[in-house]
Amino acid sequence: MTASLSPDMFDAACPTTVMPFQIGDKWTAMVVLCLEGGPRRFTELRVPLRTVTPKVLSATLRSMERDGLITRFAYDENPPRVEYALTPLGRSLLTLVAAARTWCTDHLDDLLEARAAFAARD
Amino acid sequence: MTASLSPDMFDAACPTTVMPFQIGDKWTAMVVLCLEGGPRRFTELRVPLRTVTPKVLSATLRSMERDGLITRFAYDENPPRVEYALTPLGRSLLTLVAAARTWCTDHLDDLLEARAAFAARD
DNA sequence: CGGTATCCGAAAGGATACTG
DNA sequence: CAGTATCCTTTCGGATACCG
């Protein structure tokens, strides 16, 4: 079985929020990361994505489903159970997300330094 | 000397506008591409970026300068001349832009197909 | 549990006109 | 030439509350 997702999976002050990348909508890349280890349920995703509202998360998921990045499977059970999983297409984003994250960690200091320098002389 | 930029450098119906990536603001990645071959002037950039308004282009350029992606050099001449050029940091984005573009061309068909399928059954 | 409905504020981007 | 000034529309994301 897959381990549960940590509430601390995404740092609230994560440097990547400062960085000039976006894959899909605001939460798309994080959802991809959350699904890397296997299928997840709606509420399960809300744990690491602590501040996302249900409305926005469902919109994100539907848009990702629409684009073929994830599948949505609703079990015919009560209480309801729905599982989201990466498609091969969604999985193909992982390398790109990794590349973007690498760029961010590699160059965060440069960017922050540039901002400080710019603020100083203007 | 560097060849001039073509007005057709960016297809108006470019597939990448459909794709789920964004580097910086809307025009950032295109500016990076425009500057790949060497320094460019404001008006020169407006040729390939046909639909960008001066207000938005100047905001984009200032934000890129602020983040250390480009330099701005104003010659002390009349009529005025200003040149924008990639910094090493900005240049380091080129590989990432290339990776994103590769992903887009490789997977555009998949994404379009997924959208059509989604639209069909809903 | 897995969402939807409604309302709202902020921000991005564009249209148009003007300037040193 | 290289921008700035105003205004305006659209979009995104969040707050809150409710539903099958």
Which pLDDT tens digits describe chain A residue by residue (122 residues)?
Answer: 678 888 888 877 766 666 678 888 999 999 999 999 999 999 999 999 999 999 999 999 999 999 999 999 999 999 999 999 999 999 999 999 999 988 988 998 999 999 999 999 87
**Does residue B109 have a pLDDT over 80?**
yes
The neighbour count for residue A14, using CB atoms within 10 Å, is 13
Tell me if chain A has a CB within 8 Å of the CB of B11: no
B69 to chain A, closest Cα gap in Å: 8
pLDDT tens digits for range A50-83: 999 999 999 999 999 999 999 999 999 999 999 9
CA nearest neighbour of B21 among A34, A93, A101, A95: A93
Q: What is the DSSP letter of B78?
A: S
User: Coil, strand or helix: which one is B28?
Assistant: helix
- The whole-number Å distance from B70's CA to D7's C1' is 30
Q: How far apart are CA A15 and CA A23, in angstroms?
A: 16
CA nearest neighbour of A9 among A36, A24, A61: A36
**Phi, psi for B75 (deg, rounded to 5):** -70, 145
Tell me which chain A residues have a C-beta less than 8 angstroms from the C-beta of B22.
21-23
**Does residue B20 have a pLDDT over 80?**
no
Q: What is the pTM of this model?
A: 0.91
Taking the mean position of all CA atoms in its chain, how far away is CA A83? 16
Q: CA A98 → CA A21, A92, A95, B42, B117, distances in Å?
A: 12, 11, 5, 34, 29
Find the largest Cα–Cα distance for chain A.
63
Residues 90-119 of A with CB under 7 A from strand D: none
Q: How far apart are CA A45 and CA A67, in angstroms?
A: 19
Q: CA A2 → CA A38, A72, B3, B23, distances in Å?
A: 7, 18, 55, 32
CA nearest neighbour of B66 among A119, A26, A91, A100: A119
Tell me which chain B residues have a C-beta less than 8 angstroms from the C-beta of A67.
20, 111, 114-115
User: Coil, strand or helix: which one is A39?
Assistant: coil
pLDDT tens digits for range B25-72: 999 999 999 999 999 999 999 999 999 999 999 999 999 999 999 999
**Does residue B21 have a pLDDT over 90?**
no
